Structure 1
């Protein structure tokens, strides 16, 4: 068992509950400006391309700040790193709510850095502190909560803005960071009987017994340990495949998240409030995919799940392209797919790593490269829409990204059981 000073408190539900509250802050702040982007553009004089940066900047931070996040987690323990993540998100949310373009962009970047730390450390915590049979379930709960956070902000931002203005509407979500901070502080205050051994205990060498001529010397032991050390992520072909697949998933998700309210307003004539509420369907249906994938993972191989996810994902860009009036159906299918896509990739990562350090490096590499690709989604979609005046080109680009997820993802996971 882990020592009292390092464990997580209480019964088996405490850690997942704390992770859920933390996860509400790891996507919601990004999508908060989308339902009121028209008001922000009018007040601050932003172009469509600059407005796209409000979603692009955090995702770009996910890529560029990932080495920093990995360094923070390696120097501090995961508990402190996650607490720091919440503090940074809180500070960025407050700064972003100030009614100036500079504060808007700076606060958005600060939020991105804070979320990056949380992105990298959560899979490490789940792998370390969750029993093997519960890893898939807790991962699904975590990714579900990411989308619940997006749904809450998509639903609530426009009505709040109508009553008190957009600065208040995007600042009020700082309350979630405060609540999550208290929950996480409670969770790390004790120890839980259901946790696995700590890394130090798990990696402690077994005592060597037997005749003296059978005992290896220190040099031989170091050689064996070096030979059994995990291969660095960049030297593994599956890492690059998962990174590209994650990039296709992230590109599609953030491009649609940033522009679905505007697309529905343009194509169907929804009001601002209705567009925000309608786009929340895409977010909340991700819960179905995020919780359904761990169930499938108990019987299906990951490559089969990725194929199913990609097939359902295709309905979103194709449906909006040819029959936008059926947006609800496409949002249901695409929402479930995007929740399942990120979940199955995280499950593959957990299954192929061999230690906490390996998990941290793999998580940082896949998410860093994937989010670098994904960061272009809102900017590319916004620029194409601005250049063409319609949504055909942006949706075709999303279609290509989804195909990348399906083809590369299934190929990369072909040997994972």
Structure 2
């Protein structure tokens, strides 16, 4: 077997394993806070608004720090940027559990900064090293990310009760270390730079398809607002409406994360067999909107709504970023498109938990905030449909 043949065999296995471990820790370190929030509030003597910062600050970082990530990736390269991302997340996890409120909030910001780097870098790696399989690998990436979130949601409260909240949150440092080792093993078989660009398509000067980017920005904003708004408050909503304990509500809410695995694998399979990206998006939005409307008007069927919404939230992420990767002309274009869509989308997504919580507090009901989430899903459907329908630029394929 030649070196080239060996590399073709090794690359997907080693690199995919590294990406899946990284994806596993790209949401769990801060989602794990929600099931243990009561213990954290008691230990740090803080109110609910301050406690909410532990889940909103990382998402704010996803939006505001994205321009800095573009500078980092240009100077350090894609592979080194991922090493930096994992080191920063690890440092943030340790800092968060090391002291009082100041250290906890500072560590949370550091975690957000590290994950922001990974958010931008992963789609570039998928487009660069998995050409021809971007939709499937994006689905694997989404599945692993939701598996991490599901694990954090399910085990958060039991671990906090057994180990105390500080040690429970610190356990994620071990998983990050494992992901860092996997990425170090994968790095030698990745391509640090993209293959030569087609003649006449200079990566640094190629304008992005503005209609595509604008549409996907609105689409991802609706997806992020809905996902983080529901993730932050679903355990509380279930406890209020169904009289579940904190542990039961956390475990029940994990259905919302678990069903994302179905769409993460199922939608790439369907798209590969002829389902258009627009049809996939509209299917996702139809399932998505059933969750807030169902919880508002038929809460007794919350298991069904959680399953449909979970399917949708995983599918939405998969469809959005498979389109971004597929329409990019080259690695630089993918990096800039990914940063733009995520930079704006995550800023609005960070407002989801805050606004949903504020509307609930003001009205004393879960119906108005759920209707607000439904409205953002409509924005997602319209923006995504318009963006996907944009005329391809240059030589990028339309999918």
TM-score (norm 1): 0.88
- Cα deviation for residue 400 of structure 1 reads 1.0
- The match for 1:182 is 181
- The match for 1:230 is 206
* Of 316, 320, 328, the match for 2:295: 320
**Alignment of 1:202 onto 2:215:** no
- Cα deviation for residue 99 of structure 1 reads 5.1
After superposition, give the CA deviation of every residue in 1:4-30 in whole Å (9 maximum; x if it has no partner): 9xx899352111111000001111112
- The match for 1:209 is none
- The match for 2:143 is 144
Judge conservation of contact 1:314–1:334 (CA < 8 Å) in 2.
yes
- The match for 2:60 is 60
Judge conservation of contact 2:93–2:170 (CA < 8 Å) in 1.
yes
- Cα deviation for residue 322 of structure 1 reads 1.7
- Cα deviation for residue 225 of structure 1 reads 5.8
- The match for 1:364 is 339
Judge conservation of contact 1:8–1:15 (CA < 8 Å) in 2.
no
C-alpha change, 1:8 and 1:247, in structure 2 (3 Å) is farther
Judge conservation of contact 1:57–1:108 (CA < 8 Å) in 2.
yes
Partner Cα separation in structure 1 for residue 67 and residue 126 of structure 2: 20
Unaligned runs of 5+ in 2: 391-397
Total equivalences in the alignment? 387
Partner Cα separation in structure 1 for residue 120 and residue 21 of structure 2: 16
- The match for 2:374 is 399
- The match for 1:47 is 47
- Cα deviation for residue 258 of structure 1 reads 0.9
**Alignment of 1:22 onto 2:16:** no
Partner Cα separation in structure 2 for residue 42 and residue 390 of structure 1: 25
After superposition, give the CA deviation of every residue in 1:279-312 in whole Å (9 maximum; x if it has no partner): 1111111111111121122212211111110000
After superposition, give the CA deviation of every residue in 1:219-251 in whole Å (9 maximum; x if it has no partner): xxxxx6679942146xx1221110011000000
C-alpha change, 1:373 and 1:227, in structure 2 (3 Å) is closer
Partner Cα separation in structure 2 for residue 296 and residue 177 of structure 1: 32
- The match for 2:242 is 268
- The match for 2:264 is 290
- The match for 1:216 is none
- The match for 1:168 is 167
Q: Matched residue of 2:233: which SS? A: helix
Q: Matched residue of 1:202: which SS? A: coil
Partner Cα separation in structure 2 for residue 71 and residue 228 of structure 1: 13
Return the index of the structure with the highest Cα Rg.
Answer: 1
- The match for 1:211 is none
- The match for 2:107 is 107
- Cα deviation for residue 49 of structure 1 reads 2.3
Judge conservation of contact 2:204–2:332 (CA < 8 Å) in 1.
no
Partner Cα separation in structure 2 for residue 331 and residue 121 of structure 1: 30
- The match for 1:10 is 10
- Cα deviation for residue 131 of structure 1 reads 2.9
Please report the RMSD computed on the Cα atoms of aligned residues, expressed in angstroms.
2.2
* Of 357, 379, 391, the match for 2:354: 379
Partner Cα separation in structure 2 for residue 115 and residue 65 of structure 1: 10
Judge conservation of contact 1:147–1:284 (CA < 8 Å) in 2.
yes
C-alpha change, 1:49 and 1:359, in structure 2 (3 Å) is same
Judge conservation of contact 1:260–1:279 (CA < 8 Å) in 2.
yes
After superposition, give the CA deviation of every residue in 1:121-178 in whole Å (9 maximum; x if it has no partner): 000011111131x111111100111101101111111111111211111111111100
Judge conservation of contact 1:8–1:187 (CA < 8 Å) in 2.
no
- The match for 1:215 is none
- Cα deviation for residue 95 of structure 1 reads 1.4
Partner Cα separation in structure 2 for residue 25 and residue 304 of structure 1: 30
Unaligned runs of 5+ in 1: 206-223
Partner Cα separation in structure 2 for residue 295 and residue 203 of structure 1: 29
Partner Cα separation in structure 1 for residue 68 and residue 234 of structure 2: 32
1:240-279 aligned at under 5 Å gives the runs: 240-279=214-253
- The match for 2:395 is none
**Alignment of 1:339 onto 2:338:** no
After superposition, give the CA deviation of every residue in 1:331-366 in whole Å (9 maximum; x if it has no partner): 110001000001101011112110111010000000
- Most deviating of 95-104 and 310-319: 95-104
C-alpha change, 1:226 and 1:130, in structure 2 (3 Å) is closer
TM-score (norm 2): 0.92
